[in-house]
Amino acid sequence: MPSLTLEATGIPEEVEAGDPTNRRVELMLGALASAVLLFIAGMIIFTLIKAWPSFANNGLAWFGAGGNVDQQLSDIFNSPADPADYVYELRAWPLIWSTILISGLSVVFATFIAVFSSIFIVHFAPTALQKLIEPVVKYLAAVPSVVYGLIGILVIVPWINNNLITEQMRASVAYVIQLDGSSVMAATMILTVMILPIMIALIVDSLRAVPLNWREGALALGVNKWRAVRTVSVRAIRPAIVAAAVLATARALGEAIMLAMVAGSIGFAPNPFDGILFLFEPSRPLAPSILDGEEGLSVVPFGETMYAFGFILIVSCVFFSFSGWAIRQSLSRYGIGAR
Amino acid sequence: MGIETTDDERGLSEAGVPPVRRIVVDGETPPVRVAHRIGNGASPGLDEPFAVEQDFEAVWVEERMRIESLGVRFGQKEAVKDVSLQVNSGEVLALIGPSGCGKTTLLRSLNKLVDLTPTAIRSGRILLDDEDTAYMDDTLLRKKVGMLFQQPNPFPMTIFDNVAYGLRERGSKRPGKKALEPIVVDALERAGLWDEVSDNLNHPALSLSGGQQQRLCIARSLAVRPEVLLLDEPCSALDPISTAIIEDTIVNLKDEIAIVIVTHNLQQAERIADKVAFMYLGDLVEYGPATQVFNAPMAERTKDYVRGDFG
Q: Does A94 reside within a domain?
A: yes
Question: What is the pLDDT confidence band of residue A18, given thresholds at 50, 70 and 90?
Answer: low
Q: Does A128 touch chain B (CB under 8 A)?
A: no
Q: Does A323 reside within a domain?
A: yes
Using CB atoms, which residue from A214, A220, A236 is nearest to B111? Answer: A220
C-alpha angle B3/B275/B144, rounded to 5°?
A: 105
Q: Does A46 reside within a domain?
A: no
The count of CB pairs under 8 A between chains A and B is 77
The minimum CA-CA distance between B81 and chain A, rounded to whole Å, is 24
Using CB atoms, which residue from B118, B158, B169 is nearest to A223? Answer: B169
Interface of A with B in 234-293 (CB under 8 A): 235-236
What's the confidence (pLDDT) of residue B306?
84
Most B CBs within 10 Å, among A123, A221, A229, to test the B interface:
A221
Residue of B225, B139, B143, B152 whose CA lies nearest to B182: B225
The residues, ordered by sequence, that sit 6+ positions from A293 with a Cβ below 8 Å of its Cβ are A73, A77, A302, A305, A306
> What is the mean predicted confidence (pLDDT) over A5-21?
71
Interface of B with A in 139-198 (CB under 8 A): 139-144, 146-147, 149, 151, 153-158, 165-166, 169-170
What's the confidence (pLDDT) of residue B126?
92
Task: For residue A236, list chain B residues with Cβ-Cβ distance below 8 A.
Answer: 155-156
Number of domains present in the structure of chain A: 1
Residue of A318, B86, B212 whose CA lies nearest to B204: B212
Q: Are A183 and A160 in contact (CB under 8 A)?
A: yes
pLDDT digits (tens, 9 = 90+) for A184-204: 999 999 999 999 999 999 999
Number of domains present in the structure of chain B: 1
Measured between alpha carbons, how far is A172 from A275 in angstroms, rounded to an integer? Answer: 12
Q: Does A211 touch chain B (CB under 8 A)?
A: yes
Task: For residue B149, list chain A residues with Cβ-Cβ distance below 8 A.
Answer: 213, 216-217, 220
Is the pLDDT score of A167 beyond 90? no
Using CB atoms, which residue from A213, A231, A333 is nearest to B153? Answer: A213
Task: For residue A335, list chain B residues with Cβ-Cβ distance below 8 A.
Answer: 156
Q: Does A301 reside within a domain?
A: yes
Residue ranges in B129-170 assigned as alpha helix (H): 138-144, 159-168
Residue B15's CATH number? 3.40.50.300
Q: Are B209 and B11 in contact (CB under 8 A)?
A: no
> What is the mean predicted confidence (pLDDT) over A33-39?
94
Q: Are A283 and A174 in contact (CB under 8 A)?
A: no
The total of other beta-carbon atoms located within 10 Å of residue A219's CB is 23
Q: Does A217 reside within a domain?
A: yes
Q: Does A334 touch chain B (CB under 8 A)?
A: yes
Q: Does A184 reside within a domain?
A: yes
Which ipTM score applies to this complex? 0.77
The residues, ordered by sequence, that sit 6+ positions from B212 with a Cβ below 8 Å of its Cβ are B193, B196, B197, B242
Q: What are phi and psi of B279, to 5 degrees?
A: -115, 150
What's the confidence (pLDDT) of residue A330?
79
Q: Does A44 reside within a domain?
A: no
Q: Which amino acid is at B246?
A: I
Query: What is the domain extent for residue A324?
Result: 61-76+87-331
DSSP symbols for A217-241: HHHHTT--HHHHIIIIIIHHTHHHH
A107, A160, A177 from A189: Cα distances, Å: 11, 11, 21
The minimum CA-CA distance between A121 and chain B, rounded to whole Å, is 16
Question: What is the pLDDT confidence band of residue A329, given thresholds at 50, 70 and 90?
Answer: confident
The minimum CA-CA distance between B166 and chain A, rounded to whole Å, is 6
Measured between alpha carbons, how far is A274 from A276 in angstroms, rounded to an integer? Answer: 7
Measured between alpha carbons, how far is A119 from B31 in angstroms, rounded to an integer? Answer: 47
What's the confidence (pLDDT) of residue A16?
65
What's the confidence (pLDDT) of residue B163?
93
Measured between alpha carbons, how far is B62 from B227 in angstroms, rounded to an integer? Answer: 11
Q: Does A40 reside within a domain?
A: no
User: Phi-psi region for residue B73, left (φ > 0), alpha (ψ -120 to 50) or beta?
Assistant: beta
What's the confidence (pLDDT) of residue B262?
94
Q: Are B306 and B297 in contact (CB under 8 A)?
A: yes
Residue of A254, A320, A319 whose CA lies nearest to A291: A254
Mean pLDDT by 10 residues, chain B (311 residues): 42 41 39 38 41 47 87 89 89 90 91 88 90 89 92 90 89 82 91 89 89 92 92 89 89 89 90 92 90 87 81 50
Residue A124's CATH number? 1.10.3720.10
Measured between alpha carbons, how far is B128 from B62 in angstroms, rounded to an integer? Answer: 12
Query: What is the domain extent for residue B134?
Result: 3-307
Residue ranges in chain A assigned as alpha helix (H): 6-9, 21-58, 69-77, 93-119, 127-140, 145-151, 157-159, 167-172, 184-209, 212-220, 225-228, 235-236, 238-254, 257-262, 286-292, 300-331
Q: Return the CA Rg of chain A.
A: 26
Exposed e or buried b per residue across B247-277, where buried means at least 16 C-beta atoms within 10 angstroms of its C-beta: bbbbbebbeebbbbbbbebbebbbbbbbbbb
Measured between alpha carbons, how far is A98 from A270 in angstroms, rounded to an integer? Answer: 7
The total of other beta-carbon atoms located within 10 Å of residue B232's CB is 21
Q: Are A278 and A272 in contact (CB under 8 A)?
A: yes
Measured between alpha carbons, how far is B183 from B194 in angstroms, rounded to an integer? Answer: 12
Beta bridge partners of B128: B65, B131
Q: Are B232 and B149 in contact (CB under 8 A)?
A: yes
